[in-house]
Amino acid sequence: MVSSDSRRPRIGITTYLEPTIWGVWERDASLLPRVYLDAVAAAGGVPLLLPPVGTDPAVLDILDGLIIAGGCDVDPGSYGAAAHPETVDTRPGRDEHEAILIRAALDQDVPLLAICRGLQMLNVTLGGTLQQHLPDAVGHDEHRPSPAVFGQTDVKVEPDTLTGKLFGDRTTVHCYHHQAIAVVAPGLQVTARAGDGTVEAAEVAGHDFALGVQWHPEEDPEDLRLFTALVAASTRRTTP
């Protein structure tokens, strides 16, 4: 990869493909909440959108880092399960798109940050499974209190991990999810859990920066630790 000391790292971010209304138009569009873009830019990176159309892992040749963004439920067919009644609005095409990019990023050791659904996709791509409706397992809905309302989750972090270096032994995070990791994939190390046992962070062994979090760090503009660490890792990769 051609690099320049003055070039800011290019961070690809996966996007939604959804029916969208703007102005007089109502069409399918690639979209992403602006908070992701602001977080990457504030951390020193250049955000580039990766729609789930025309997927080609060669796009990583022009990227320095990759974010797998949050979104809808993962299709349970991708890990050999029947759909739970609460598993709705899946996007198998997006699942396939993100799985291709995740595998390519890990193969090329491109710094990878997987957020919420992104952590779930990381686990499924590596051979794990998901708890499709978390309240069935933990007996409460505090991880997704109500539509469009983020919960607050206290997280215990494992020492001597990248997650631990960034957050210490405990942190409080913004969460909004009703699915979570069930069977942990081979090669994925759990590095943080909520008090109810829910996996809140995991890292891929043998990689400089391959980290997934179940929470939404982009929702806290005052805490850019994850994005700053991703940009720093991406910068190291581009520096001769």
The SS3 call for residue 2 is coil
Q: What is the mean pLDDT of the chain?
A: 95
Q: Which residues of 5-41 are buried (b: 16+ CB within 10 A; e: fewer)?
A: eeebbbbbbbbbbeeeeeeeeeeeeeebeeebbebbe
Yes or no: say if 169 and 185 are a contact pair by the CB < 8 Å rule. Answer: no
Reported as a single tens digit per residue, the pLDDT across 35-74 is 999 999 999 999 999 999 999 999 999 999 999 999 999 9
CATH assignment of the domain containing 99: 3.40.50.880
The answer to whether residue 4 sits within a structural domain is no
199-204 and 210-213 as β-strands: parallel, antiparallel, unpaired? antiparallel
Q: Active-site residues: which are they?
A: 116, 216, 218
Mean predicted confidence (pLDDT) in 138-164 = 96
State the residue range of the domain holding 164: 10-19+26-238
The answer to whether residue 1 sits within a structural domain is no
Yes or no: say if 40 and 227 are a contact pair by the CB < 8 Å rule. Answer: yes
Domain count, the chain: 1
Give the separation between CA 45 and CA 233, rounded to whole angstroms. Answer: 11
The answer to whether residue 2 sits within a structural domain is no
Its pTM stands at 0.95
Yes or no: say if 52 and 43 are a contact pair by the CB < 8 Å rule. Answer: no
Q: In angstroms, what CA-CA distances link 127 with 75, 99, 184, 192?
A: 14, 11, 8, 20
The answer to whether residue 171 sits within a structural domain is yes
Give the separation between CA 211 and CA 190, rounded to whole angstroms. Answer: 10
Name the β-bridge partners of 216.
none
The answer to whether residue 3 sits within a structural domain is no
The answer to whether residue 76 sits within a structural domain is yes
The SS3 call for residue 13 is strand
With tokens 């974010």, the residue in question is 67
State the pLDDT confidence band at 7, using cuts at 50, 70 and 90.
confident
The answer to whether residue 5 sits within a structural domain is no
**What stretches of the chain adopt beta strand conformation (E)?**
10-14, 16-22, 25-31, 46-50, 65-68, 112-115, 130-131, 151-157, 170-175, 180-181, 188-194, 199-204, 210-213
The answer to whether residue 158 sits within a structural domain is yes
Give the separation between CA 166 and CA 157, rounded to whole angstroms. Answer: 10
Share of the chain above pLDDT 70, in %: 96
Reported as a single tens digit per residue, the pLDDT across 160-219 is 999 999 999 999 999 999 999 999 999 999 999 999 999 999 999 999 999 999 999 999
